[in-house]
Structure 1
Amino acid sequence: MEPAAREADVLKPLPQTPSAPATHMARPRTAAMEAVEDIAYGSIAGVVGKYIEYPFDTVKVRLQSQPDHLPLRYRGPLDCFAQSIRSDGFLGLYRGISAPLVGAALENSSLFFWERLGRAAIYASGYAPRDQPLPLSALWMTGAFSGAMTSFILTPVELVKCKIQVPETEGGVVRAPLRPIPVIKDIWRHQGLRGFWHGQLGTFLRESGGCAAWFGSKETVTQLFREWNERSAAASSRPAANDDDPLPLWQQAVAGASAGMSYNFLFFPADTVKSRMQTTPIGESPGQHRTFAAEARALWRQAGLKGFYRGCGITVLRSVPSSAFIFMVYDGLKKHLPMQ
Structure 2
Amino acid sequence: MTEETPKRELSGFANFLAGGFGGMCLVIVGHPLDLLKVKLQTGGQYKGVADAAAKTLQAEGPRGFYRGVSAPLVGVSPIFATCFWGYDMGLKLCRAAKGKDADAKMSLGEKMLAGAFSALPATALMAPVERIKCLLQIQGEEVARGAKPKYLGMVDCARKLHATGGIGSVFKGWEVTLMRDVPGSVAYFGVYEFLKEAFAAEDGTVSSAGILSAGGFAGMATWAVAIPPDVIKSRWQTAAEGTYSNLGDVLRTLLREEGAAALYRGVAPAMLRAFPANAACFFGVDLAKSILGSAGL
Alignment TM-score, normalising by the size of structure 2: 0.91
Aligned to 1:17: none
Q: Find the residue that maps to 1:175 and give its secondary structure.
A: coil
Aligned to 1:46: 23
Whole-angstrom distance in 1 between the partners of 2:120 and 2:224:
18
Q: Find the residue that maps to 2:45 and give its secondary structure.
A: coil
Instruction: Report the Cα offset of residue 181 of structure 1.
Output: 2.0
Aligned to 1:224: 198
Aligned to 2:187: 213
Question: Which structure has greater helix proportion?
Answer: 2
Whole-angstrom distance in 2 between the partners of 1:280 and 1:143:
31
Residues 174 and 82 of structure 1, relative CA distance in 2, 3 Å threshold:
farther
* Matching residue within 145, 148, 154 for 1:175: 148
* Matching residue within 144, 152, 159 for 2:131: 159
What is the alpha-carbon root mean square deviation over aligned residues? Answer: 2.1
Q: Do the aligned residues in 2 keep the contact of 1:9 with 1:133 (CA within 8 Å)?
A: no
The answer to whether residue 223 in structure 2 is matched with residue 251 in structure 1 is: no
**Bigger Rg over Cα:** 1
* Matching residue within 256, 265, 268 for 2:227: 268
Q: Find the residue that maps to 2:105 and give its secondary structure.
A: coil
Instruction: Report the Cα offset of residue 202 of structure 1.
Output: 1.5
Whole-angstrom distance in 2 between the partners of 1:323 and 1:181:
27
Whole-angstrom distance in 2 between the partners of 1:137 and 1:191:
41
| Structure 2 runs not aligned, ≥5 long | none
Q: State the 4+ residue runs in structure 1 displaced beyond 4 angstroms.
A: 7-10, 127-131
Residues 8 and 293 of structure 1, relative CA distance in 2, 3 Å threshold:
farther
Which amino acid in 1 is paired with 2:216?
A: A
Residues 169 and 98 of structure 1, relative CA distance in 2, 3 Å threshold:
closer
| Paired-residue identity, % | 27
| Structure 1 runs not aligned, ≥5 long | 1-6, 15-28, 67-71, 230-239
Aligned to 1:18: none
Q: Find the residue that maps to 2:245 and give its secondary structure.
A: coil
* Matching residue within 65, 84, 89 for 1:112: 84
Measured against aligned partners, the alpha-carbon deviations of 1:219-264 in whole angstroms (never above 9, x if no partner) come to 01112223xx4xxxxxxxxxx32x3x3x111111110111000111
Q: Find the residue that maps to 1:327 and give its secondary structure.
A: helix
Q: Find the residue that maps to 2:11 and give its secondary structure.
A: helix
Alignment TM-score, normalising by the size of structure 1: 0.80
Which amino acid in 1 is paired with 2:82?
A: S
